[in-house]
């Protein structure tokens, strides 16, 4: 039997109360949202916080707020809800797609978007999609708060720039310009409960329906200690007319932009080949979406 | 046309309510006053000498009540086949795999028990460890067991007909190799047990087991407690699939600790321990050579197999025989030769798992048959039909197909899948494949040599006549045997299903060899049917005396007495019954005499109305060495057609449709038969596409979680069309035979054949991951 160690438990209703608790207990406490990572890690003995502070009862953390040109998502929103809100489906379809393949229906009913970010697993499903749309995070402390670009958030597996006393309150995404399309594909063995062998999120913005690529982001996941940009592939797209041939070339560049390893989920050679295959597929789908097809 | 009131229907399972509401208590849910918790110390090394064990610190820990090692424990060896008892409760001189048991602790709570385990100090001297059979068989390799020279645990050599001569008559011969991977049973409920030894010397063990009878015998033998004082009770069990069909150190330890402390002791495996204990599917390395005539007639098969058995024998002696004997049929094949070698390695012990011993062989051969059909330019279905066995045929290794709806199954899946419209006509990336298979319907002999009955049953009527209590030691492990046996009892007595109350899974209720080798419907079913008929005879006997009507002129059906020769005046009987139950609100009424009234009369006459039944198979075929593995009173068979889509860019396989036909002789419960078919397909699909136990460089299981050992989820299951074929087995109760294991046989090869049809590559190694397909496609491109 895997046993949960003993801990103290707090369930604040207000953000201020949660922040007070965290600044008092610092590293001896951990925030818990859905608990689908924290409790598993505690059972495995990987972490043993003296206290857990549950943020699930803080109502302001679980809404979606569209306001002048941005979409602001509460960190406590459960993943299942991401797939239900119309505004996400319509304005951030790439996030909708990523949310739909996270875990299983059971897990999606507990897991939160904030937990999926802060946990910083190399193969987490939401960060690649959020990186592709250049999301910003609002980190709140007892005394001050700050906004950090998701691009600057991850350090390595399980490691981020968030301080133990800070709470991730919102994920903020600027509304995407017209003629933008994106796609997220996760390659796993099964149709549910899969940690990606490789996953790719691509997003392009055209200057006009038949124009050139103005902006491009390609995020590769499960091929490095954290989700990374396919740097040379992104560069090669900019200012070019989108064609199958271009995507083919870019897909090869993407494969060169990462250094996958062999582990129990897949071999390095296969992973590299899949980076190319998924880059091409996601770009094709992104293009169709950008053109409104 | 036979007519039945209960069987052949779709009545709900007897345990449905308890399971759906959470009312069902599994072993891990049980507790007793004053209970202690046990924990095991297991080896971190794959192969090492034990130099010293220091338990002093563990013993001093507050809350620890007992610490035991091989020094205190029984030195008696145990296992499954008496010819290969090679396990001890705790390792004496050395450990043979990561997870081998060294010591155990009983403490007041699980935390203390675990802490005490961490305080036991063991000094090891590491020995060379072998994680595959090739290293283990190398000249000069250190012996894992002194008794197995060359680390060969067992060898089998059989020949039926004359294979070399027969090959000379063949127009086409080909050889193929095939390998699968070690599996995990992946049942949802990890093994758990609770032992209580009382001051009168009675030992009770509650255990998550498939075979209470075998556990009882091993406990008695190793712990030296008379068998009459050992009682093994099986609560609800969350799946077994084979690995739970034998006694384990977990069970022995809980009992031993209870005997030492005089308190109940509970022990539960975590998921990693389930993987380390294993006893699941072996790894098989098959080399098959098959010879045919130009017209497609199968002539000869040579089968060589090396089995990676892991550290101990377990079920392996049966496995090695099955890996040979379950080929040949369901095709007419006059010549067959088999050479099998089971090799020990320093990995978890392999044993029996659904389709015991035959699944990899079947996958290898049915794929090869497809290659041969293509070579001969024959349709794979036609090729199989040409060679198909039928009812009454006997295999070259003397298996008597007393019923066999193989042809019907194959035709059913051909038509049910619209094979003719699809085969050879699907676009690239889409494919269709077919395969057949068969399996025993109960091992013909117990695992220990004996003339024992295989199943006994007893039915007792309640004094009001309203309920029949059925006592059987059979093991309901989720497969539905309680439902099947209740239905058989009801049908045999002529009463309603809801009036049977089953009590099962307890060695105090009789003898039953348990849930393995797909035996309970046929064997326990026979015993229950006999017991039911006995009760019926007794009730009718008393009624005959009372009413002065010959027994032959009466029958019982659907809970009523049938008077074959027209109406009988039973008003005296009825008023007697009503008088006896003054004040009751459920008095019998209507113009038919109820079973309840008749049974009450029988009770008033006899006091005890108990019927009994006992079954063992009659004379079975085969006089050669090893004939005891594979001979069975009956054989189930099945055919499947699978349709797949392969993503050419990633290699990912999607199974779109499965059409499955199974001959179960006669379906006692149609829903249950379909459930077993679906479950088999899901398990086969997992083994084909995902499942593989992996090891780190030190021999430790690297994916000992259900996150990284992937069994199919509901979302991975395609649409399944299930077709029940009923061939009316003469040796089965009401014509019934197995469905639990035979149904898995065609799944893997049907998928393999469909993948080939889709993308033109043959995969000889399981699982067929997307990576394996992708690499094979790349290789093909290069050529
Ligand atoms: C069976 C199973 C399958 C899974 N499958 C997937 C999968 O397919 N894809 C995937 O990406 N993940 C998967 N996961 C991982 C997990 O479900 C997700 O990462 C999930 O989004 C975590 O969210 P949570 O709310 O449960 O986080 P928690 O476990 O509550 O927290 C995770 C971490 O984030 C911190 N945290 C949470 N909220 C905040 C906040 N507001 N501010 C600061 N810190 C915070 C916690 O302290 C902790 O360190 C799976 C997990 C399980 C158990």
The model scores a pTM over 0.90: yes
Which of B552, B585, B615 marks a domain boundary?
B615
Residues B232 and B287 in one domain: no
Alpha-carbon gap, residue B441 to A90, rounded angstroms: 57
At A2, the pLDDT band (50, 70, 90 cuts) reads confident
Alpha-carbon gap, residue B467 to A47, rounded angstroms: 56
Is residue B526 in some structural domain?
yes
pLDDT, mean over chain B:
97
CATH number of the domain encompassing residue B308: 3.30.365.10
Interface contact flag, A264 B713, Cβ < 8 Å? no
Residue nearest to atom 6 of ligand 1 (CA): A103
Residues B84 and B123 in one domain: yes
Among A37, A51, A139, A161, name the best residue to mutate to test ligand 1's pocket (greatest count of ligand atoms within 8 A of Cβ): A37
With a 6 Å cutoff on the Cβ, whether A125 touches ligand 1 is yes
**CA angle centred on B467, ends B465 and B468, rounded to 5°:** 105
- Please list every residue in chain A whose beta carbon sits closer than 8 Å to the beta carbon of residue B714: 192
Cα–Cα distances in Å, from B606 out to B539, B542, B554?
10, 9, 20
CB-count exposure of residue A177 (10 Å: 0-12, 13-18, 19+): exposed
Tell which B residues from 10 to 39 touch A, by Cβ distance under 8 Å: 28
With a 6 Å cutoff on the Cβ, whether A75 touches ligand 1 is yes
Query: Dmax of chain A from CA atoms?
Result: 61
B737 and B664 in contact (C-beta within 8 Å)? Answer: yes
What are B90-116's pLDDT values in tens digits?
999 999 999 999 999 999 999 999 999
| B134/A contact by beta carbon, under 8 A | no
Number of domains present in the structure of chain B:
3
Q: Partners of B561 in the beta sheet?
A: B556
Residue A287: pLDDT over 60: yes
What value does the mean pLDDT take over residues B347-356? 98
- Please list every residue in chain A whose beta carbon sits closer than 8 Å to the beta carbon of residue B769: 189
Return the pLDDT at A1.
Answer: 62
| B40/A contact by beta carbon, under 8 A | no
Alpha-carbon gap, residue B617 to B632, rounded angstroms: 8
Residues B541 and B605 in one domain: yes
At B539, the pLDDT band (50, 70, 90 cuts) reads very high
| B705/A contact by beta carbon, under 8 A | no
Which ligand 1 atom sits closest to the C-alpha of A38? 29
Residue B463: helix, strand or coil by DSSP? Answer: coil
Residues B588 and B663 in one domain: no
Q: Which residue of A has its CA nearest to B704?
A: A264
| B685/A contact by beta carbon, under 8 A | no
Q: Partners of B107 in the beta sheet?
A: B37, B64
Alpha-carbon gap, residue A11 to A8, rounded angstroms: 10
What are B451-461's pLDDT values in tens digits?
999 999 999 99
What is the domain partition of chain A in residue ranges?
Answer: 8-54, 59-174, 180-290
Cα radius of gyration (chain A) = 19
What are A101-151's pLDDT values in tens digits?
999 999 999 999 999 999 999 999 999 999 999 999 999 999 999 999 999
Is residue B107 in some structural domain?
yes
Task: Please determine, looking at this structure, whether the domain spanning A180-290 carries the CATH number 3.30.390.50.
Answer: yes
A192 and A138 in contact (C-beta within 8 Å)? Answer: no
B211 and B516 in contact (C-beta within 8 Å)? Answer: yes
Residues B316 and B434 in one domain: yes
Q: Which segment of B32-46, B576-590, B655-669, B755-769 scores lowest on mean pLDDT?
A: B576-590
Alpha-carbon gap, residue B487 to B632, rounded angstroms: 24
Residues B673 and B768 in one domain: yes
Cα–Cα distances in Å, from A9 out to A36, A40, A119, A188, B352?
16, 16, 20, 36, 46
Q: Which residue of A has its CA nearest to B690?
A: A189
The count of other CB atoms within 10 Å of the CB of residue B694 is 14
Residue bearing the bigger pLDDT, B362 or B449: B362
SS (H, E, C) A210-247: CCCEEEEEEEEECCCCCCEECHHHHHHHCCCCCCHHHH
Residues B416 and B461 in one domain: no
Interface contact flag, A191 B715, Cβ < 8 Å? yes
A108 and A102 in contact (C-beta within 8 Å)? Answer: yes
Residue B307: pLDDT over 90: yes
Backbone phi, psi, residue B305, to 5°: -140, 130
What are B273-290's pLDDT values in tens digits?
999 999 999 999 999 999
Is residue B369 in some structural domain?
yes
With a 6 Å cutoff on the Cβ, whether A137 touches ligand 1 is no
Q: Which residue of B has its CA nearest to A262?
A: B771
| A41/B contact by beta carbon, under 8 A | no
Tell which B residues from 235 to 274 touch A, by Cβ distance under 8 Å: 268, 270-271
Residues B259 and B309 in one domain: no
Residue nearest to atom 5 of ligand 1 (CA): A103
Mutate to test the interface with A, among B107, B770, B781 (most CBs of A within 10 A): B770
Strand-strand pairing, B203-207 and B230-233: parallel
Nearest CB among B690, B694, B713 relative to A104 is that of B713
At A14, the pLDDT band (50, 70, 90 cuts) reads very high
Q: Quote the domain boundaries for residue B717.
A: 283-445+622-782
SS (H, E, C) B504-544: CCEHHHCCECCCCCCCCCCHHHHHHHHHHHHHHHHHHHHHH
At B2, the pLDDT band (50, 70, 90 cuts) reads low
Angle, helices B670-689 vs B359-375, to 10°: value is: 80
Residue B391 token pair:
């009812």
Look at the domain A59-174 and name its fold: 3.30.465
What are B241-260's pLDDT values in tens digits?
999 999 999 999 999 999 99
Question: How far does the centroid of ligand 1 lie from the alpha carbon of residue A110, in Å?
Answer: 9
- Please list every residue in chain A whose beta carbon sits closer than 8 Å to the beta carbon of residue B110: 1, 3
Q: Which residue of B has its CA nearest to A43?
A: B270
SS (H, E, C) A82-121: HCCCHHHHHHCHHHHHHHHCCCCHHHHCCCEHHHHHHCCC
Return the pLDDT at A67.
Answer: 82
Which residues, other chains included, contact B572 with Cβ-Cβ below 8 Å and sequence gap of 6+? none
With a 6 Å cutoff on the Cβ, whether A32 touches ligand 1 is yes
Interface contact flag, B650 A277, Cβ < 8 Å? yes
- Please list every residue in chain B whose beta carbon sits closer than 8 Å to the beta carbon of residue A280: 649
Residues B434 and B307 in one domain: yes
With a 6 Å cutoff on the Cβ, whether A102 touches ligand 1 is yes
Question: How far does the centroid of ligand 1 lie from the alpha carbon of residue A258, in Å?
Answer: 25
Residues B291 and B260 in one domain: no
Residue B292: helix, strand or coil by DSSP? Answer: strand
Residues B352 and B480 in one domain: no
pLDDT, mean over chain A:
96
CA A10, A13, A18, A24 torsion-angle sign: negative
Residues B308 and B406 in one domain: yes
Residue B1: pLDDT over 60: no
Is residue B698 in some structural domain?
yes
Alpha-carbon gap, residue B308 to B346, rounded angstroms: 10
What are A53-72's pLDDT values in tens digits?
999 999 999 999 888 899 99
Return the pLDDT at B394.
Answer: 97
Tell which A residues from 168 to 197 touch B, by Cβ distance under 8 Å: 187, 189-193, 195, 197
The count of other CB atoms within 10 Å of the CB of residue B172 is 14
Residue ranges of E strands in B93-139 = 94-95, 101-107, 121-126
Share above pLDDT 90 across residues of chain B, in percent, rounded to a whole number: 98
At B354, the pLDDT band (50, 70, 90 cuts) reads very high
Return the pLDDT at B534.
Answer: 98
Is residue B147 in some structural domain?
no
| CATH architecture entry for A8-54 | 2-Layer Sandwich (3.30)
Which residues, other chains included, contact B289 with Cβ-Cβ below 8 Å and sequence gap of 6+? B167, B173, B174, B175, B301, B302
Nearest CB among A2, A187, A193 relative to B270 is that of A2
| A4/B contact by beta carbon, under 8 A | no
Residue B23: pLDDT over 80: yes
Is residue B63 in some structural domain?
yes
With a 6 Å cutoff on the Cβ, whether A46 touches ligand 1 is no
At A3, the pLDDT band (50, 70, 90 cuts) reads confident
With a 6 Å cutoff on the Cβ, whether A62 touches ligand 1 is no
At A85, the pLDDT band (50, 70, 90 cuts) reads very high
Place of tokens 């027969």: B166
What value does the mean pLDDT take over residues B68-74? 97
CA A172, A175, A179, A185 torsion-angle sign: positive
Cα–Cα distances in Å, from B580 out to B79, B333, B353, B469, B590?
55, 67, 54, 22, 18
Among A29, A103, A188, name the best residue to mutate to test ligand 1's pocket (greatest count of ligand atoms within 8 A of Cβ): A103
């Amino acid at each position: 039997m895997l046993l949960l160690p003993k801990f103290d438990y707090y369930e604040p209703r207000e953000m201020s109360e949660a922040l007070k608790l965290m600044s008092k207990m610092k590293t001896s406490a951990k925030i818990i949202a859905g608990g689908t990572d924290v409790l598993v890690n505690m059972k495995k003995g990987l972490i043993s916080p003296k206290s857990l502070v549950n943020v699930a009862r803080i109502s302001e953390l679980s809404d979606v707020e569209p306001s002048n040109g941005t979409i602001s998502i509460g960190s406590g929103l459960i993943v299942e809800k991401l797939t239900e809100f119309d505004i996400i489906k319509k304005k951030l379809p790439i996030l909708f797609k990523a949310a739909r393949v996270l875990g299983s229906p059971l897990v999606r009913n507990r897991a939160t978007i904030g937990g999926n970010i802060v946990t910083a697993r190399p193969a987490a499903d939401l960060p690649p999609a959020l990186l592709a749309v250049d999301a910003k995070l609002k980190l709140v402390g007892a005394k001050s708060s700050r906004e950090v670009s998701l691009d600057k958030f991850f350090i390595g597996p399980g490691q981020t720039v968030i301080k133990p006393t800070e709470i991730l309150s919102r994920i903020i995404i600027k509304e995407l310009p017209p003629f933008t399309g994106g796609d997220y594909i996760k390659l796993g063995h099964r149709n549910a409960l899969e940690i990606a062998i490789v996953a790719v999120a691509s997003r392009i913005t055209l200057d006009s329906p038949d124009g050139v690529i103005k902006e491009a982001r390609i995020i590769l996941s499960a091929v490095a200690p954290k989700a990374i940009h396919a740097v040379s592939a992104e560069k090669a797209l900019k200012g070019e007319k989108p064609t199958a041939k271009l995507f083919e070339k870019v897909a090869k560049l993407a494969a060169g932009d990462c250094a996958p390893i062999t582990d129990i989920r897949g071999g390095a050679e296969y992973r590299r080949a899949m980076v190319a295959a998924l880059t091409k597929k996601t770009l094709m789908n992104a293009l169709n979406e950008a053109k409104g097809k | 046309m036979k007519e039945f009131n209960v069987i052949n229907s779709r009545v709900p399972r007897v345990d449905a309510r308890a399971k759906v509401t959470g009312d069902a208590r599994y072993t891990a849910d049980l507790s007793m006053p004053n209970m202690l918790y046990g924990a095991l110390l297991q080896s971190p090394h794959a192969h090492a000498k034990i130099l010293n064990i220091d338990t002093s610190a563990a013993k001093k820990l507050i809350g620890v009540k007992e610490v035991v090692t091989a020094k205190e424990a029984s030195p008696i060896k145990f296992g499954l086949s008496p010819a290969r008892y090679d396990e001890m409760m705790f390792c004496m001189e050395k450990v043979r795999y990561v997870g081998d048991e060294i010591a155990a602790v009983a403490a007041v709570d699980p935390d203390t028990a675990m802490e005490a385990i961490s305080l036991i100090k063991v000094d090891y001297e590491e020995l060379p460890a072998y994680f595959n059979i090739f290293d283990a068989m190398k000249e000069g390799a250190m012996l894992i067991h002194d008794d197995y020279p060359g680390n060969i645990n067992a060898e089998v050599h059989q020949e039926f007909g004359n294979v070399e001569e027969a090959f000379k008559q063949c127009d086409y011969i080909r050889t193929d190799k095939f390998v699968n991977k070690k599996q995990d049973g992946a049942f949802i409920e990890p093994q758990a047990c609770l032992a209580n030894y009382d001051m009168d010397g009675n030992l009770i063990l509650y255990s998550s087991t498939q075979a209470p009878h075998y556990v009882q015998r091993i406990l008695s033998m190793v712990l030296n407690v008379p068998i009459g004082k050992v009682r093994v009770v099986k609560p609800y069990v969350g799946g077994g699939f084979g690995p739970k069909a034998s006694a384990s150190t977990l069970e022995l330890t809980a009992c031993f600790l209870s005997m030492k402390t005089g308190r109940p002791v509970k022990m539960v495996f975590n998921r990693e321990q389930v993987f380390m204990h294993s006893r699941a599917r072996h790894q098989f390395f098959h080399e098959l050579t098959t010879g045919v005539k130009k017209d497609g007639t199968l002539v000869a098969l040579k089968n060589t197999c090396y089995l990676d058995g892991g550290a101990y024998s377990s079920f392996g002696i049966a496995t090695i025989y099955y890996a040979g004997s379950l080929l040949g049929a369901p095709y007419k094949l006059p010549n067959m030769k088999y050479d099998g070698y089971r090799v020990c390695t320093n990995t978890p012990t392999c044993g029996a798992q659904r389709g015991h011993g035959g699944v990899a062989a079947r996958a290898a051969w049915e794929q090869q048959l497809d290659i041969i059909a293509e070579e001969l330019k024959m349709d794979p279905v036609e090729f199989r039909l040409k060679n198909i066995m039928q009812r009454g045929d006997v295999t070259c290794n003397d298996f008597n197909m007393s019923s066999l709806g193989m042809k019907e199954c194959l035709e059913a899946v051909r038509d049910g899948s619209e094979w003719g419209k699809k085969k050879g006509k699907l676009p690239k990336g889409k494919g269709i494949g077919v395969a057949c298979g068969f399996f025993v319907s109960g091992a013909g002999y117990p695992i220990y040599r004996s003339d024992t009955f295989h199943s006994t049953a007893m039915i007792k009527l309640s004094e009001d006549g309203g309920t029949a209590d059925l006592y059987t030691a059979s093991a309901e492990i989720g497969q539905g045997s309680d439902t099947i046996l209740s239905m058989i009892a009801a049908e045999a007595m002529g009463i309603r299903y809801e009036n049977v109350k089953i009590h099962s899974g307890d060695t105090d209720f009789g003898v039953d060899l348990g849930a393995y080798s797909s035996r309970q419907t046929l064997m326990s079913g026979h015993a229950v049917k006999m017991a039911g008929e006995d009760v019926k005879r007794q009730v009718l006997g008393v009624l005959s005396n009372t009413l002065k009507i010959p027994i032959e002129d009466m029958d019982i059906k659907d809970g009523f007495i049938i008077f074959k020769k027209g109406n009988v005046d039973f008003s005296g009987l009825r008023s007697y019954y009503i008088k006896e139950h003054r004040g009751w609100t459920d008095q019998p009424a209507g113009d038919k005499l109820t079973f309840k009234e008749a049974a009450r009369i029988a009770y008033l006459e006899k006091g005890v109305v108990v019927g009994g039944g006992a079954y063992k198979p009659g004379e079975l075929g085969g006089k050669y060495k090893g004939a005891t593995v594979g001979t069975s009173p009956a054989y189930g068979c099945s055919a499947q057609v699978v349709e797949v889509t392969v993503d050419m860019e990633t290699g990912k396989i999607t199974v779109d449709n499965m059409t499955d036909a199974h001959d179960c002789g006669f379906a006692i419960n149609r829903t249950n038969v379909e459930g077993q078919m679906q479950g088999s397909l899901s398990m086969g699909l997992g083994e084909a596409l995902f499942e593989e136990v992996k090891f780190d460089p030190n021999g430790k299981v690297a994916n000992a979680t259900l996150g990284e050992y992937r069994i199919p989820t509901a979302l991975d299951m395609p649409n399944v069309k299930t077709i029940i074929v009923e061939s009316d087995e003469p040796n089965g109760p009401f014509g019934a035979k197995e469905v639990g294991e035979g149904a898995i046989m065609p799944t893997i090869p049907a998928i393999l054949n469909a993948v080939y049809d889709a993308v033109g590559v043959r995969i000889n190694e399981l699982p067929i991951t997307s990576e394996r397909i992708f690499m094979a496609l790349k290789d093909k491109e290069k050529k």
